[in-house]
Amino acid sequence: MSLPPDPVPHPLDHLALRGRDGDPALILRGRTLSWQDLRSRVALLAGWLARQVPERGARVASWAAKGELTCLLPLAAARAGLVHVPINPLLKHGQVAHILADSGAALLLGTPARLGTLEMGDIPHGCRAMAEDEAWQAAEEAGDALPPSEADPAELAAILYTSGSTGLPKGVMLSHANLWLGAVSVASYLGLARDDVTLAVLPLSFDYGQNQLLSTWYAGGAAVPLDYLTPRDVIKSCARHGVTTLAAVPPLWLQLAEQDWPPEAVAPLRRLTNSGGALTEALVRRLRSQFPQARLFAMYGLTEAFRSTYLDPAMIDSHPTSMGRAIPFAEILVMRDAGQVAEAGEEGELVHCGPLVAQGYWRDPARTEERFRPAPPASTYGGMAVWSGDRVVREADGLLYFVGRRDAMIKSAGNRISPQEIEDAAIATGLVAEAAALGVPDERLGQAILLVVRGEGDEEGLRAALRRDLPNFMQPQAIRWVSAMPLNPNGKIDRTALAALASETGEAGA
């Protein structure tokens, strides 16, 4: 699929108009929604939402596994003039309570089991919680169907919460135009078509996880949402549904590459896409050997600007470690610290310009001003740009290569993790006086979490408390107890010294 000659963004809910009536649009467990079904169900859910939350721009949160509600809510909320806040189902009640309070959500839709884990005070005043089955029943009984909206594409459509290097998750504000053009961009460079079937295994609370649906629907194809327990579940779904498009993060690709794939699961695959961390050269070679008929797309992105780059699959064998070049609608500049554009082969900060740039952080002008700044004079787009904090090099051939991050963000199994959130949880147990979390190299996870603490040494109690308060992907793989933390000249914990010590001792997969 090539880009349309005039890629004007539309209201997000117009994605429901893209497919042909009888074609499959959403393949659920035991039930398939055709495009005609999709249109009617989005209209029905939107009508009910508009009656429940009449204030335009109010936030509606979802905290549930992948299913009809979580897949249709991005379009239905947009049609109702509301802002969708998808919450990662793996989060524990503490993080959920923060997101609900920070976003000011008026309505929370979730599974009864998840809602049952919330404690008194987790749901803020003014927010109502409802089970997803109850919501659908009420929507069907009401029968209020809304026609396609005429929303301004610049209006806010979603808030996606992502971890930074400090503190609790922050909400990235995405407009209809951000999400629409992101769908157009990915559908075009992946070459998605009406006969494509996408297996949606990434969490729908992630930017690319949600785009699995939106880009597929822009092309008029079908999406198969899957919450998998083992890699075999993914393989079985590929075979059962004739999956043509599969996206994953490096740890899952590593697990999938270790499995035996039957021919009926391999043959339909046309493209494999990777995000959430770099593929190793060895894994690239293994995937290319295992799926020779499928094109392998390596991608880089950040929630604040969606995707930024992709590598042409024709170059993956010769340049397996490259981030590639800018995706459609993105302009990528490499900037020196002094403010000039870096020369070829010179390290600099990746700056993302163009219409995919988000609208900033929800109710956080200070952090917005720090990350979202005017585009450099060299930009052809101008306006606001995202200063990523990632260090990259653009070689003479135009290909980009990742060097490292400026901050202490941990990226493990495709998840962006705030060290401070882990540290705060450890100190809150009362079992440690000081804590420092850092990421160390790990073959399977990309980075594993090493937690260095000063305290009495009750590791069993500390781990039990962390399991209670933090989701599984934020659990430390190793805990090191020390009598004193190394300090830098400013009296702060010296993370560089801790990282060097972890490397020397080979802890946590280093």
Q: What is the CATH number of the domain that holds 122?
A: 3.40.50.12780
pLDDT tens for 448-475 read 999 999 988 899 999 999 999 999 999 9
Residue 1 reports pLDDT greater than 60 = no
- pTM listed for this prediction: 0.87
Q: For residue 120, what pLDDT band results from cuts at 50, 70 and 90? A: confident
In-domain check, residue 140 = yes
Alpha carbons within 13 angstroms on the beta-carbon side of residue 213 total: 31
Q: For residue 492, what pLDDT band results from cuts at 50, 70 and 90? A: low
Give the residue from 126, 157, 175 where a domain finishes. Answer: 175
In-domain check, residue 15 = yes
CA distance 220 to 278: 30
In-domain check, residue 181 = no
CA distance 382 to 119: 46
pLDDT tens for 315-355 read 999 999 999 999 999 999 999 998 999 999 999 999 999 99
What is the average pLDDT across 390-406? Answer: 89
Burial-class residue 209 by CB neighbours within 10 Å (0-12, 13-18, 19+).
buried
> What percent of the chain is modeled with pLDDT above 70?
95
Q: What is the CATH number of the domain that holds 496?
A: 3.30.300.30
pLDDT tens for 121-175 read 899 999 999 999 999 999 999 999 999 999 999 999 999 998 765 667 899 999 9
In-domain check, residue 132 = yes
In-domain check, residue 209 = no
What is the average pLDDT across 47-55? Answer: 98
In-domain check, residue 455 = yes
3-state secondary structure of 209: helix
For residue 20, give Cα distances in angstroms to 73, 180, 218, 244, 482.
21, 19, 12, 19, 63
Sign of the CA dihedral with 56 first, then 57, 60, and 66 last: positive
In-domain check, residue 362 = no
pLDDT tens for 401-439 read 988 766 667 889 888 888 888 988 998 999 998 889 999
Give the residue from 155, 175, 195 where a domain finishes. Answer: 175
Residue 505 reports pLDDT greater than 70 = no
What is the average pLDDT across 302-326? Answer: 95
**HEC profile for 493-507?**
ECHHHHHHHHHHHCH
Q: For residue 510, what pLDDT band results from cuts at 50, 70 and 90? A: very low
Its domain, for residue 121, covers 8-24+33-175
In-domain check, residue 308 = no
Give the residue from 175, 196, 229 where a domain finishes. Answer: 175
Residue 109 reports pLDDT greater than 70 = yes
CA distance 436 to 24: 49
CA distance 306 to 443: 26
pLDDT tens for 257-293 read 999 999 999 999 999 999 988 888 889 999 999 999 9
Side by side, which strands form the sheet with 478-481?
432-442, 446-455, 478-481
The total number of structural domains that make up the chain: 2
What's the confidence (pLDDT) of residue 22? Answer: 97
Residue 6 reports pLDDT greater than 80 = no
**Mean pLDDT value across the chain:** 93
> What percent of the chain is modeled with pLDDT above 90?
78
Whether 75 and 42 have beta carbons less than 8 Å apart is answered as yes
What's the confidence (pLDDT) of residue 139? Answer: 97
